[in-house]
């Protein structure tokens, strides 16, 4: 598997719809494959469904070059997202994903969210049956983002990770968890405290979601420019003009290191994620060919002990919940 993956979500979900281009996204996927990226990460709810269709198109004639990951267990409702872990749904969702992706097998099938109304053992058991049936090669588990749950109080992050580890232990008793996907970046390092040690001790991979901090760590976003209403960052507590300005020292620090290496701040941020362990694969999301190629190049960046010490000394990221 390539050192850096490609998150396909921005091609059809979460970020500004007016800036999406199907043809540009197809070029981004193909360019990533050309530059050593193999893991493509999508989900049935991105779009919904259109992201898998796009990835399926991009992989025509190139399926053997890709490690294909998709997800089930989360539905797009009228007002909010709804978890669905019913076994019958899992089976239908997998078959539908296979059709949209134009493939006979999914390399990694991830549970997007745990359904509180369905015992996890039942959901995971249904997913394991898909492996037995030859429709799926391995199973993964998406951990709820710590930063997204901080409003519950100062200790909420620890509670979320505790819940995740409990769920992982439950799932492991039914069928092996091959990887865990969780947010991990320079400005959101919480997964290093508990999730990564859990994975390392069991030989489980960690897919680092949002390794570029939703674009902030690239240094290309400017405080006060704002976001379109359909962009999730328009409602994100770290993307107010005030907080973006307050967190600029993080980007400045990454740029300083990038200048020494002749690379970009984004590549330094990805190299930091790669430096956290051999089982860690960053999955930066993009819909642009240029960024897909640049992100793939981060695999060649080698941070020194001095670089890592400077990153460790950067200010803690702030948001409006602090």
Tokens describing residue 303: 């941070």
CA distances for 5 relative to 56, 158, 175, 197, 301, angstroms: 17, 27, 25, 21, 15
Q: Contact 184/142 with Cβ under 8 angstroms?
A: no
Helix (H, G, I), strand (E, B) or coil at 110: strand
Coil, strand or helix at 182: strand
In this structure, the strands spanning 67-72 and 74-76 are unpaired
Give the Å distances, CA to CA, from 289 to 32, 55, 185, 193, 274.
8, 14, 22, 34, 21
Residue among 15, 46, 89, 109 flagged as catalytic: 46
- 46 is an active site residue: yes
CA 236 to chain centre: 17
The SS3 call for residue 74 is strand
Active site residues: 46
């Amino acid at each position: 598997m390539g050192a850096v993956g490609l998150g396909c979500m921005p091609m059809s979900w979460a970020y500004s719809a007016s800036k999406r281009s199907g043809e540009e996204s197809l070029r981004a996927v193909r360019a990533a494959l050309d530059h050593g990226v193999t893991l493509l990460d999508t989900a049935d709810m991105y779009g919904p469904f259109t992201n898998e269709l796009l990835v399926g198109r991009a992989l025509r004639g190139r399926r053997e070059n890709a490690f294909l990951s998709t997800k089930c267990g989360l539905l797009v409702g009228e007002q909010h997202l709804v978890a669905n872990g019913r076994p019958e749904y899992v089976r239908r969702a997998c078959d539908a994903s296979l059709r949209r992706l134009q493939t006979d097998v999914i390399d990694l099938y991830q549970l997007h969210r745990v359904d509180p109304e369905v015992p996890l053992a039942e959901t995971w058991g249904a997913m394991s049956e898909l492996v037995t049936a030859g429709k799926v090669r391995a199973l993964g588990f998406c951990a709820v983002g710590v930063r997204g749950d901080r409003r519950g109080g100062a200790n909420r992050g620890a509670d979320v990770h505790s819940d995740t580890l409990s769920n992982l232990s439950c799932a492991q008793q039914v069928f092996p968890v091959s990887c865990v996907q969780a947010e991990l970046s320079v400005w959101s390092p919480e997964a290093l405290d508990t999730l990564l040690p859990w994975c390392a001790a069991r030989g489980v991979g960690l897919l680092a979601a949002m390794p570029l901090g939703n674009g902030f760590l690239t240094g290309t976003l400017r405080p006060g420019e704002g976001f379109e209403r359909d962009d999730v960052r328009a409602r994100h507590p770290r993307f107010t003009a005030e907080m973006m300005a307050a967190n600029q020292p993080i980007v400045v620090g990454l740029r300083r290191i990038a200048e020494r290496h002749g690379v970009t701040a984004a590549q330094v941020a990805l190299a930091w994620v790669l430096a956290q362990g051999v089982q860690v694969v960053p999955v930066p999301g993009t819909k642009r060919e240029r960024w897909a190629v640049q992100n793939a190049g981060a695999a060649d960046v080698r941070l020194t002990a001095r670089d890592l010490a400077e990153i460790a000394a950067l200010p803690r990221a702030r948001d409006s919940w602090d």
